[in-house]
Each structure stands twice: as structure tokens, then as C-alpha cells.
């Protein structure tokens, strides 16, 4: 059976150096010469085996920028030529952006793109300059431990303008609603294999649309996504390893 596995990265299959992890782990990302992120060896072995089977596609789907994605050098050990970055706004193939995909994404975002510079300016009174980021034309975001005042301001400014405001992992993002992981997965599925079984995994609010697009979705119980007619599994244990166990059982039953 043809299968596409769309997976979020951070806190889904890779983890920060600040996160307590099983002993059997390996470095997959360096930043400024320091170990930044890890993957368990169990997860690495499973994904390597999965991605090398004929008819299987492993597709990372992340809010990371191209630079942030490409510094996860550990992904080179996996066979995943496609990746969706900037929350699906860009499609990479072997690290190179697909210009038609980007053009289509920007066209779909439309007038919402014009709002982003103003939203960046609206963030200035709330956070230090070093915590502000303008990843134009795709998104703007700020790092903050106290998101409520800024969230209230941005939500008011974005109402009715096609911009989503999402707080995830200490960062508050403003992103056009068109840049959506679920929409991106649907677009790429049509290109890769329209009749494939769609699996998806994620852990944050950004991932809800992706999980709801899947035939079978995997999420931590803390997310508790709901989607009528879809199958959701909540693996118990360390999430990435438990996810692999569930996928192994699922794929074995279909063999």
C-alpha cells in the first residue's frame, strides 16, 4: 500500500537538548557549534526502514525556516527528499525550493501578506528586539514567556484579515491562514500519490489541521484533537518511540 507519513519535527520526532530523553539517542542538529537537537536511535532506525520501502514517503512538515530546517543534518540519514517548511508555504525537494509551489502559496495568501510588516511593528512594544523575527513574506513571530498581552493585541489586529495567531513553544506567530499544514499536506498528496494512505503526527496547535487531514493521525494526549470520521491514536510512553511502535503495528497488519 502506498503510504505518505507527514510528520512535524520538534517535539514529535526530534527533541531539544533541554528535553529529558531516553539514553539511546543521537545528535541530529548543531547550532553555533553546540548540540541542539536529538532523535532516539529507535525512532531513527524505524524511520530509516519506513522511508526506504517502495511506495512510502516520509515528509517533514514544520514551521521552521529553510535555514533552520537544513541545519538538522541528521535528517540526511533518512530518505525524505520532500519537506514542507514555513508551515507549508514552501516545498523543498532535496533542499531546493519549488518555485511554482511558492508562487501558488503566495497567491493563495493574497492580501494577508500585506499585514505582516505592520504586525511586526505592533510587536515591538512587547518584546526585546532580539526576540523579534520577520520571516517575510511568510510570517512574523516573537519569543515571549508572557504571551497574553501580545496575543490580545495581535488577535484584535488580525481579526478578519486572514491571519492566524498561534502561540507554540514560547513563540507567538502571525501567519497567513493559507499557510496551513493540512492544506499543504493535501496539495503534496495529490502530487505524490493521490490514492495513498495518509499518516500524520504532530504535537502542537499548528499540527491540528495536518492531523485532521490524515487517514490515521498520531498525537500526544495533551493535544486531544477531534475530527469526525478520522482515526486518532494517542501513543503512550516517550512520544516518538511510542509513535513508531504504533506505526509498526499498523503497517504490519496491512502487509
Q: Is residue 82 part of a domain?
A: yes
Q: What is the per-residue pLDDT for 226?
A: 60
Rounded to two decimals, the pTM is: 0.94
Which one of 143, 160, 176 terminates a domain? Answer: 176
Mean pLDDT of 156-178: 95
Domain count, the chain: 2
Domain boundary among the residues 127, 152, 176 is at 176
Domain boundary among 134, 161, 176: 176
Domain hosting residue 222, numbered range: 3-89+179-254
- Kindly state whether residue 162 falls inside one of the protein's structural domains: yes
Is residue 79 domain-shared with residue 187, that is, in the same domain?
Answer: yes
Task: Please check the confidence at residue 86 and state whether its pLDDT lies above 60.
Answer: yes
Whole-angstrom Cα distance, residue 62 to residue 6? 10
**Residue 40 reports pLDDT greater than 60:** yes
**189-235 pLDDT tens trace:** 999 999 999 999 999 989 999 999 999 999 988 876 565 556 888 88
Q: What is the pLDDT of residues 134-154, one digit of tens each?
A: 999 999 999 999 999 999 999
Q: In the predicted model, is pLDDT for residue 255 greater than 60?
A: no
Average pLDDT for residues 238-253, to the nearest whole number? 92
State the average pLDDT over residues 101-119. 97
Residues 48 and 156 in one domain: no
Q: Quick check: 50 pLDDT over 70?
A: yes
Give the chain's mean pLDDT: 93
Q: Do 84 and 185 fall into the same domain?
A: yes
- Rounded distance, CA 31 to CA 68, Å? 9
- Same structural domain, 228 and 200: yes
Amino acid at each position: 500500500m502506498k503510504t505518505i507519513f507527514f510528520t512535524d519535527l520538534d517535539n514529535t520526532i526530534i527533541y531539544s537538548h533541554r528535553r529529558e530523553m531516553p539514553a539511546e539517542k543521537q545528535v541530529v542538529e548543531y547550532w553555533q557549534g553546540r548540540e541542539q537537537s536529538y532523535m532516539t536511535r529507535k525512532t531513527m532506525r524505524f524511520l530509516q526502514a519506513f522511508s526506504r520501502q517502495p511506495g512510502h514517503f516520509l515528509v517533514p512538515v514544520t514551521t521552521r525556516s529553510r535555514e533552520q530546517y537544513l541545519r538538522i543534518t541528521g535528517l540526511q540519514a533518512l530518505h525524505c527528499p520532500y519537506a514542507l517548511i514555513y508551515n507549508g508555504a514552501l516545498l523543498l525537494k532535496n533542499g531546493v525550493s519549488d518555485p511554482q509551489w511558492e508562487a501558488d502559496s503566495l497567491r493563495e495568501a493574497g492580501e494577508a501578506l500585506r499585514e505582516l510588516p505592520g504586525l511586526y511593528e505592533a510587536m515591538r512594544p512587547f518584546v526585546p528586539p532580539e526576540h523579534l523575527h520577520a520571516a517575510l513574506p511568510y510570517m512574523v513571530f516573537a519569543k515571549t514567556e508572557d504571551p497574553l498581552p501580545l496575543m490580545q493585541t495581535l488577535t484584535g489586529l488580525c481579526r478578519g484579515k486572514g491571519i492566524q495567531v498561534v502561540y507554540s513553544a514560547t513563540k507567538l506567530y502571525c501567519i497567513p491562514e493559507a499557510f496551513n499544514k493540512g492544506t499543504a499536506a493535501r496539495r503534496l498528496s495529490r502530487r505524490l500519490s493521490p490514492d495513498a494512505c495518509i499518516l500524520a503526527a504532530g504535537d502542537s496547535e499548528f499540527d491540528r489541521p495536518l492531523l485532521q487531514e490524515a487517514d490515521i493521525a498520531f498525537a500526544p494526549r495533551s493535544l486531544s484533537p477531534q475530527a469526525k470520521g478520522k482515526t486518532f491514536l494517542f501513543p503512550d510512553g516517550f512520544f516518538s518511540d511510542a509513535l513508531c511502535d504504533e506505526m509498526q503495528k499498523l503497517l504490519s497488519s496491512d502487509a
